[in-house]
């Protein structure tokens, strides 16, 4: 299910930054280092355009894809012990019920105060996509971050190479006219490369553990309580690294995706 369009300042900032970095990379960095009419220039321009296209397309999917809504007809099967539906939210032992949405919540679903509804396998609400990251759009969100890291590092390498080439050719007057573009691009690319690389590493860790960001923070407290009681805490959805990757990234049967990923 697709979401409707609504204006978002953070999304506008991201789109503007992507457009600026793409223009500078292709028409300044590549052109001044290799020249756009050379084979090396064409190859780099095509390669960077491909990475940028994958980044933008997955970003768009992450924005407009519904993150996963809880079916209004969902009811927990309290008689089936094989289904991990007996997840307890309160000490009283009640099944997970959302007072705001007025329906039961499946395991790993959480209510988002911004979206004002329950999200399946909710990871977090991201202002940069103006959407929740959940069951349906987690994969495209992860791929977007991956391509964004590649694009930022690629652009940064081209920026440094272009500057080095200018200094070797001693084209000071020509370089001065592009100084603002170099400075702004550097101020964008360096922190973005670091921040996005950290974000990518974080989600690689979560995927290997089959956790969401919410579950990680809940698990820290659960681990502390388990150690306090002399027990060993184990994340209930951890199936092993390979199974975790295939469960989160690839498509599986609906029930397994709903309850185990």
Rounded CA separation 14/188 (Å): 11
Identify whether 158 is part of a domain: yes
Q: What was the pLDDT predicted at 252?
A: 41
Identify whether 16 is part of a domain: yes
> Which residue segment(s) compose the domain that 49 sits in?
9-65+136-168
Q: Which of 126, 132, 152, 261 is catalytic?
A: 126
Q: Report the chain's terminal Cα–Cα distance, integer Å.
A: 19
Identify whether 22 is part of a domain: yes
Identify whether 153 is part of a domain: yes
Could you say which residues of the chain have pLDDT below 50? 81-93, 252-261
Identify whether 87 is part of a domain: no
For 28, the token pair is 């300044």
Q: What was the pLDDT predicted at 157?
A: 97
Identify whether 201 is part of a domain: no
Rounded CA separation 93/55 (Å): 44
Give 121-167 as a 3 state SS string. Answer: CCCEEECCCCEEECCCCHHHHHHHHHHHHHHHHHHHHHHHHHHHHHH
Rounded CA separation 238/61 (Å): 27
Identify whether 113 is part of a domain: no
Identify whether 196 is part of a domain: no
The structural domain count of the chain equals 1
Query: Quick check: is 126 catalytic?
Result: yes
Q: What was the pLDDT predicted at 184?
A: 95
């Amino acid at each position: 299910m697709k979401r409707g369009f609504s204006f978002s300042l953070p999304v506008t900032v991201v789109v503007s930054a992507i457009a600026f970095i793409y223009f500078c990379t292709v028409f300044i960095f590549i052109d001044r280092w290799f020249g756009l009419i050379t084979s090396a220039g064409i190859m780099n321009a095509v390669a960077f355009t491909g990475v940028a296209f994958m980044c933008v397309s997955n970003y768009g999917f992450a924005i407009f894809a519904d993150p996963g809504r809880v079916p209004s007809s969902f009811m927990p099967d309290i008689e089936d012990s094989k289904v991990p539906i007996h997840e307890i939210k309160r000490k009283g032992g009640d099944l997970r019920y959302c007072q705001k949405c007025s329906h039961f919540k499946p395991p790993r679903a959480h209510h988002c105060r911004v979206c004002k509804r329950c999200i399946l396998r909710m990871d977090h609400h991201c202002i940069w996509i103006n959407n929740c990251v959940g069951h349906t759009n987690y994969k495209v969100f992860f791929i977007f971050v991956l391509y964004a890291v590649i694009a930022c590092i690629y652009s940064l390498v081209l920026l440094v190479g272009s500057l080095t080439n200018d200094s070797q050719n001693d084209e000071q007057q020509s370089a001065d006219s592009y100084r603002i573009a170099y400075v702004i691009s550097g101020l964008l690319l360096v922190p973005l490369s670091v921040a996005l690389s950290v974000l990518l590493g974080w989600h690689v860790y979560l995927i290997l553990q089959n956790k969401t960001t919410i579950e990680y923070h809940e698990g820290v407290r659960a681990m502390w309580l388990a150690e306090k009681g002399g027990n060993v805490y184990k994340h209930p959805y951890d199936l092993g690294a390979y199974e975790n990757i295939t469960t989160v990234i690839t498509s599986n049967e609906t029930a397994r995706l709903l309850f185990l990923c």
